[in-house]
């Protein structure tokens, strides 16, 4: 009887529901870390993988951010990363980000290892694909063993075929194209990457303007007049207020003059 | 005697009581507002004009919305940065506040404290009903489509605020004095005309014995003049340095360019720009660099200077304070035949600001977010913009507002090159060094060479510090995006798929990656070229 009474009297375990976790993520999306934590703790300690991931991310954003606090987050994320679901992939990616940009003393080598392992484990996941883009950045600019500029570009380029989600493939192409340019590689390769990125599309605002202008101006410098003209004109058609319009019009006049000078075959 | 004293006291008491009654019923604010919601709006535009314009908008808004009271909080510019930081951190900030991307050391503020308005900006503004802007998304109702604000956003692509005004730097002229000196009120058309006019002013002052200078002078006015001169002279250099093909150069790129030895202050076009700056500042009174913007304004309104080169934000103050008609005009630009900078001029250049400004942000922690957003919509509607402009004398940022002909000249022009910074410093440390040494250029014993040598001595260290600051602030913004990407992804997992949210997740990832390209390249330059680690 007393056992039965005990069972009856024990309050049911309080679970942070998916709705609570969703509220927490809504707050996190607006950097309201304290509100997000409040939403998670309203129903007690996190008791699902969803809630645990949300709490770890809250603590990345919660002020004051300390290295010791981030180490605790890393432990939480490492635990979550052991699974094989989307949460595990997100946790592994975020662990990589901790090592790449969040810890006060970054460890790019460790970050690169984590991204590579994630890409092997869950290659199709958004997080693994995004991790590959970040790994390209590390190979291009940060990792000590990546070698001379040409070797760096080659090492980053080797990752490109593994990035298959269109938006991330586009970003990877931009990373690679700009990396080639920065490291003094031939412009033809740069243009090939940027044109491929443009074919995927989906960029808006300033990113789109930058891509259009970069393709146009690099084409002009390579004397690819028609390609330059098309992209400069596309820029003019799509932008009403950008400060570079007068310069673009001057470039178009130069292109027209060059085409006239070279004759109809240009 | 005693009775007389008593009567006097009684009379004083009665008079005091009557004055108190009159005060309570006619002047004082009620102890408890009759309106259930009070929103507060802080800004630093306390020149003559803007507070009047905002008051007019508030009056009309309160007529339309009897539930809401709006209070304007005017904070002086010199303390604004500290005021914002303290109040945001302490949770006592106003519901709406002015902010700007260029406020030093405040890069983290929008993401942490302001509510993104991206979604609201894609909807129409209900206060534009019955106007040509009725069916236009709110963002596109601004003269620049908020392009400038978005391009400077710490979270690229995200809209964090709305703008109220637009303006430019212009030459303001004392027309009566101009006519007295030259016999004509015609403004100078070319830079050669302007130089001739300056000589005529000096001659007039000598002949008549009056204290008169061609340009009113202060540190700030010299800064704006320097912007004008250096921007035009160095457009060609910016385009030459543009290896990436953006047709522009940003200060963070100019930092790397400097550290890689691609430019320095000894380049001939930079020295030519400095020579012209020296020539222009010599038209100001000696010691101008110790004077404030207010000193220059007073110098102009008391007729001791023919022109003042200032922002159009001073136009209302000038017109209200000057006892003579003031005319705004463009300062003529140097051309290819200019004897000082001609060889480096690539053509006409941007004259004025293309973007809109006076940026207003919504406090993420405001208890009255809906009402504050509603007021912001009214403030930046066609009606609100018109009221603001008519009562402030500042150009409205809103399309569809009727601009009087005399204010058309305040608008920036789109018909010139706009390719880069002015190179008067490329970050906080180098900029400070530039202005600290300026006396070596503009002082009586100054010269271009003295100034350049002083600048170059130590500039590498300053630019290195600038690059480190830039990388640090970029990383802060980059880190903040990780949380948002995780949040968008989780919400798409937990809730019904939302294409807009998925789009946002990819836009965030894309923008963050591009920011990391820039940061990676800047860090590479520091690490691989013998500078200190970031």
> How far apart (Å, rounded) are the C-alpha atoms in residues A104 and A98?
9
CB contact under 8 A, A61 and B516: no
CB contact under 8 A, A29 and B247: no
Mean pLDDT (chain A, rounded): 90
Report the chain A residue with the minimal C-alpha distance to residue B518.
A178
What are the tens digits of pLDDT across the range B59-79?
Answer: 999 999 999 999 999 999 889
Q: What is the pTM of this model?
A: 0.85
Handedness of CA B452, B458, B460, B463 (dihedral sign): negative
Q: Mean of the pLDDT values across residues A186-195?
A: 98
State the angle between helix axes of A126-141 and A166-182 in degrees (0 to 180), rounded to the nearest 10.
0
Residue located via tokens 């680690």: B533
Supply φ then ψ for residue B366, to 5 degrees.
-65, 135
> How far apart (Å, rounded) are the C-alpha atoms in residues B384 and B127?
9
CB contact under 8 A, A218 and B245: yes
Report the chain A residue with the minimal C-alpha distance to residue B157.
A205
B314: tokens are 């001073």
Mean pLDDT (chain B, rounded): 91
Cβ contact B177:B160 at 8 Å? no
Question: How many other C-beta atoms can be found within 10 angstroms of the C-beta atom of residue B84?
Answer: 23
Interface test with B, best of A21, A156, A241, A248 (most B CBs within 10 A): A241
Residues B504-532: b if buried by 16+ CB within 10 A, e if exposed: bbbbbbbbbbbbbbbbbbbbbbbeeeebe
Residue A24: cis peptide before it, omega within 30 degrees of 0: no
In the three-class reduction of DSSP (H, G, I as helix; E, B as strand; rest coil), residue B1 is classed as coil
List CB contacts (< 8 A) between B414 and chain A.
241, 243, 245-246
Q: State yes or no: pLDDT of B315 exceeds 80.
A: yes
Nearest one of B316, B321, B291 to B215, comparing CA atoms: B291
User: pLDDT band for position B132 (50/70/90)?
Assistant: very high
* Cα of A51 to nearest chain B Cα, Å: 10
Q: Confirm whether B509 is domain-assigned.
A: yes
B376: tokens are 């912001």
The pLDDT of residue B295: 95
B491: enclosing H helix or E strand: helix B459-494
Q: Confirm whether B265 is domain-assigned.
A: yes
Residues B499 and B445 in one domain: no
Residues B429 and B312 in one domain: yes
Q: State yes or no: pLDDT of A4 exceeds 60.
A: no
Higher pLDDT, B99 or B530: B99
In the three-class reduction of DSSP (H, G, I as helix; E, B as strand; rest coil), residue B327 is classed as strand
Percent of chain A with pLDDT over 70: 91
Q: So what's the ipTM on this one?
A: 0.93
* Cα of A12 to nearest chain B Cα, Å: 24
Angle at B240 between CA B235 and CA B243, to 5 degrees: 125
Higher pLDDT, B337 or B476: B337
Residues B427 and B322 in one domain: yes
Residues A92-102: b if buried by 16+ CB within 10 A, e if exposed: bbbbbbbbbbb
CA dihedral A208, A213, A216, A219 (to 10 degrees): -110
Residues B105 and B183 in one domain: no
What are the tens digits of pLDDT across the range B378-387?
Answer: 999 999 999 9
Residue located via tokens 């000696």: B286
| Beta bridge partners of residue B307, listed in sequence order | B173, B215
In the three-class reduction of DSSP (H, G, I as helix; E, B as strand; rest coil), residue B467 is classed as helix
Q: Confirm whether B188 is domain-assigned.
A: yes
The domain in which residue B474 lies consists of: 460-528
Q: Mean of the pLDDT values across residues A186-214?
A: 94
CB contact under 8 A, B517 and A137: yes
A–B CB contacts, 8 A cutoff, strictly below: 172
Residues B264 and B306 in one domain: yes
Q: State yes or no: pLDDT of A95 exceeds 90.
A: yes
List CB contacts (< 8 A) between A215 and chain B.
245
* Cα of A9 to nearest chain B Cα, Å: 33
Residues 6+ apart with CB under 8 A from B65: B371, B374, B375
CB contact under 8 A, B245 and A168: no
User: pLDDT band for position A146 (50/70/90)?
Assistant: confident
* Cα of A165 to nearest chain B Cα, Å: 11
Cβ contact B239:A247 at 8 Å? yes
CB contact under 8 A, A214 and B491: no
Out of A50, A102, A247, whose CB is closest to B479?
Answer: A102
CB contact under 8 A, B354 and A22: no
Residues B311 and B385 in one domain: no
In the three-class reduction of DSSP (H, G, I as helix; E, B as strand; rest coil), residue B310 is classed as strand
CB contact under 8 A, B494 and A21: yes
> How far apart (Å, rounded) are the C-alpha atoms in residues B348 and B335?
7
Radius of gyration of chain A from its Cα atoms, rounded to whole angstroms: 25
List CB contacts (< 8 A) between A217 and chain B.
242, 245-247
List CB contacts (< 8 A) between B490 and chain A.
21-22, 25, 50, 53-54, 90
The pLDDT of residue B98: 96
Of B429, B457, B485, the domain-final residue: B457
Please give the biggest Cα pair distance in chain A.
103
Out of B247, B480, B513, whose CB is closest to A171?
Answer: B513
Q: Confirm whether B53 is domain-assigned.
A: yes
CB contact under 8 A, B490 and A31: no
Higher pLDDT, B401 or A48: B401
List CB contacts (< 8 A) between B244 and chain A.
178, 181, 214
Q: Confirm whether B407 is domain-assigned.
A: no
| Beta bridge partners of residue B408, listed in sequence order | none
> How far apart (Å, rounded) are the C-alpha atoms in residues B116 and B121?
9
The pLDDT of residue B32: 57
Report the chain A residue with the minimal C-alpha distance to residue B149.
A206
Out of B247, B479, B486, whose CB is closest to A217?
Answer: B247
Out of A31, A32, A250, whose CB is closest to B347?
Answer: A250
Residues 6+ apart with CB under 8 A from A133: A163, A168, A171, A172, A175, B509, B513
Distances in Å between the Cα of B110 and the Cα atoms of A43, A45, B359 are 31, 31, 12
Out of A60, A86, A137, whose CB is closest to B482?
Answer: A60
CB contact under 8 A, B491 and A206: no
Q: Confirm whether B22 is domain-assigned.
A: no
Q: Confirm whether B399 is domain-assigned.
A: no
* Cα of B414 to nearest chain A Cα, Å: 7
CB contact under 8 A, A244 and B247: yes
Residues B182 and B46 in one domain: no
User: Which H, E and C letters describe chain A, residue by residue?
Assistant: CHHHHHHHHCCCCCCCCHHHHHHHHHHHHCCCHHHHHHHHHCCCCCCCHHHHHHHHHHHHHCCCCCHHHHHHHHHHHHHHCCCCCHHHHHHHHHHHHHHHHHCCCCCHHHHHHHHHHHHHHCCCCHHHHHHHHHHHHHHHHCCHHHCCHHHHHHHHHCCHHHCCCHHHHHHHHHHHHHHHHHCCCCHHHHHHHHHHHHHHCCCCHHHHHHHHHHHHHHHHHCCCHHHHHHHHHHHHHHCCCCCCHHHHHHHHHHHHHHHHHHCCCC
**Domain containing residue B228: CATH number:** 3.40.190.10
Residues B153 and B181 in one domain: no
> How far apart (Å, rounded) are the C-alpha atoms in residues B23 and B19?
6
Out of B147, B486, B510, whose CB is closest to A167?
Answer: B510
Distances in Å between the Cα of A22 and the Cα atoms of B11, B36, B178, B332, B492 are 71, 32, 68, 59, 10
* Cα of A58 to nearest chain B Cα, Å: 8
Residue located via tokens 């989906």: A202
CB contact under 8 A, A30 and B115: yes
B526: tokens are 């520091």
The pLDDT of residue A7: 42
* Cα of B117 to nearest chain A Cα, Å: 11
List CB contacts (< 8 A) between A54 and chain B.
490
User: pLDDT band for position A11 (50/70/90)?
Assistant: very low
Q: Mean of the pLDDT values across residues B99-115?
A: 82
How many domains are contained in chain B? 3
Q: Confirm whether B335 is domain-assigned.
A: yes
> How many alpha carbons lie under 13 Å from residue A252 in its C-beta half-sphere?
15
Residues B125 and B196 in one domain: no
Report the chain B residue with the minimal C-alpha distance to residue A182.
B521
- CA B241 vs. chain centroid, Å, equals 27
Out of B364, B495, B510, whose CB is closest to A30?
Answer: B364
CB contact under 8 A, A246 and B482: no
The pLDDT of residue B28: 54
Residues B185 and B78 in one domain: no
Residues B378 and B489 in one domain: no
Instruction: Provide DSSP, B41-73.
Output: EEE---SSSHHHHHHHHHHHHHHH-TTEEEEEE
Percent of chain B with pLDDT over 70: 96
Residues B449 and B389 in one domain: no
Q: State yes or no: pLDDT of B5 exceeds 70.
A: yes
> How far apart (Å, rounded) are the C-alpha atoms in residues B85 and A202?
37
A14: tokens are 């309080």
Kindly tell me the number of DSSP H helices and DSSP E strands found in chain B: 21, 10
Q: State yes or no: pLDDT of A259 exceeds 80.
A: yes
A190: tokens are 């740069």
């Amino acid at each position: 009887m007393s056992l039965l009474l005990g069972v009856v009297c024990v309050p049911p375990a309080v679970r942070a529901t998916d709705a609570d976790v969703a509220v927490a993520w809504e707050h996190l999306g607006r950097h309201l870390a304290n509100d997000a934590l409040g939403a998670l703790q309203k129903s007690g300690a996190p008791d699902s993988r969803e809630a645990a991931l949300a709490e770890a991310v809250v603590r990345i954003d919660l002020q004051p951010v300390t290295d010791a606090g981030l180490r605790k987050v890393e432990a939480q994320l490492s635990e979550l990363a052991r699974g094989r679901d989307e949460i595990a992939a997100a946790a592994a990616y975020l662990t990589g980000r901790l090592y790449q940009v969040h810890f006060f003393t970054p460890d790019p080598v460790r970050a690169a290892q984590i991204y590579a392992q994630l890409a092997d484990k869950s290659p199709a996941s958004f997080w693994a694909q995004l991790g590959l883009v970040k790994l390209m950045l590390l190979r291009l600019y940060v990792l000590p063993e990546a070698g001379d500029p040409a070797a760096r570009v080659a090492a980053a380029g080797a990752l490109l075929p593994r990035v298959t989600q269109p938006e991330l493939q586009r970003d990877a192409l931009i990373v690679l194209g700009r990396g080639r340019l920065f490291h003094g590689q031939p412009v033809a390769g740069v243009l090939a990457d940027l044109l491929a990125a443009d074919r995927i599309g989906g960029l808006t605002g300033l990113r789109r303007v930058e891509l259009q202008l970069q393709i146009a101006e690099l084409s002009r410098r390579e004397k690819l007049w028609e390609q330059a003209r098309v992209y400069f004109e596309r820029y003019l058609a799509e932008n009403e207020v950008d400060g570079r319009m007068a310069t673009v019009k001057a470039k178009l006049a130069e292109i027209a003059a060059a085409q006239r000078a070279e004759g109809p075959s240009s | 005697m005693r009775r007389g004293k008593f009567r006097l006291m009684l009379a004083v008491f009665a008079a005091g009581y009557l004055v108190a009654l009159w005060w309570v019923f006619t002047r004082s604010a009620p102890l408890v507002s009759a309106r259930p919601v009070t929103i507060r709006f802080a800004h630093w535009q306390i020149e003559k004009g803007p507070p009047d314009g905002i008051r007019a908008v508030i009056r009309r808004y309160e007529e339309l919305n009897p539930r809401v009271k709006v209070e304007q909080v005017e904070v002086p510019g010199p303390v604004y940065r500290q005021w914002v930081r303290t109040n945001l951190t302490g949770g006592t900030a106003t519901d709406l506040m002015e902010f700007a991307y260029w406020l030093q050391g405040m890069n983290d503020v929008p993401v942490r404290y302001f509510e993104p308005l991206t979604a609201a900006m894609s909807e129409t503004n209900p206060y534009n009903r019955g106007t040509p802007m009725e069916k236009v998304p709110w963002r596109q109702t601004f003269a620049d489509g908020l392009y400038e604000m978005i391009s400077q956003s710490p979270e690229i692509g995200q809209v964090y605020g709305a703008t109220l005004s637009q303006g430019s730097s212009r030459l303001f002229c004392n027309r009566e004095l101009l006519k007295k000196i030259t016999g004509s009120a015609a403004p100078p058309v070319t830079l050669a005309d302007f130089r001739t006019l300056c000589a005529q002013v000096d001659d007039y002052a000598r002949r008549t014995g009056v204290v008169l200078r061609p340009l009113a002078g202060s540190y700030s006015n010299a800064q704006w003049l320097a912007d004008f001169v250096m921007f035009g002279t160095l457009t060609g250099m910016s385009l030459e340095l543009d290896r990436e093909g953006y047709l522009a150069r940003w200060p963070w790129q100019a930092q790397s360019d400097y550290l890689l030895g691609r430019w320095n202050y000894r380049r001939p076009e930079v020295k030519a720009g400095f020579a012209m700056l020296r020539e222009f500042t010599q038209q100001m009174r000696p010691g101008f660099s110790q004077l404030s913007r207010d000193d220059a304004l007073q110098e102009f309104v008391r007729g001791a200077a023919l022109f003042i080169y200032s922002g159009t934000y001073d136009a209302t103050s000038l017109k209200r304070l000057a006892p003579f008609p003031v005319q705004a005009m463009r300062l003529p630009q140097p051309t290819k035949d200019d004897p000082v900078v001609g060889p480096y001029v690539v053509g006409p250049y941007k004259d004025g600001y293309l973007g809109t400004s006076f940026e207003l942000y919504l406090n993420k922690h405001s208890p009255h977010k809906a009402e504050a957003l509603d007021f912001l919509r009214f403030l930046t509607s066609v009606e609100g913009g018109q009221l603001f402009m008519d009562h402030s004398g500042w150009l409205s940022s809103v399309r569809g507002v009727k601009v009087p002909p005399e204010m058309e000249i305040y608008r920036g022009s789109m018909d010139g090159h706009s390719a880069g910074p002015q190179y008067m410093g490329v970050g906080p440390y180098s900029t400070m060094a530039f202005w600290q040494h300026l006396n070596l250029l503009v002082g009586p014993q100054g010269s271009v060479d003295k100034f350049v040598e002083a600048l170059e001595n130590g500039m590498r260290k300053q630019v290195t510090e600038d690059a480190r600051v830039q990388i640090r602030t970029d990383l802060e913004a980059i880190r903040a995006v990780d949380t948002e990407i995780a949040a968008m992804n989780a919400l798409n997992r937990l809730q019904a798929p939302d294409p807009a949210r998925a789009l946002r997740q990819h836009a965030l990832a894309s923008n963050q990656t591009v920011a990391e390209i820039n940061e990676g390249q800047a860090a590479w330059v520091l690490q691989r070229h013998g500078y200190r680690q970031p």
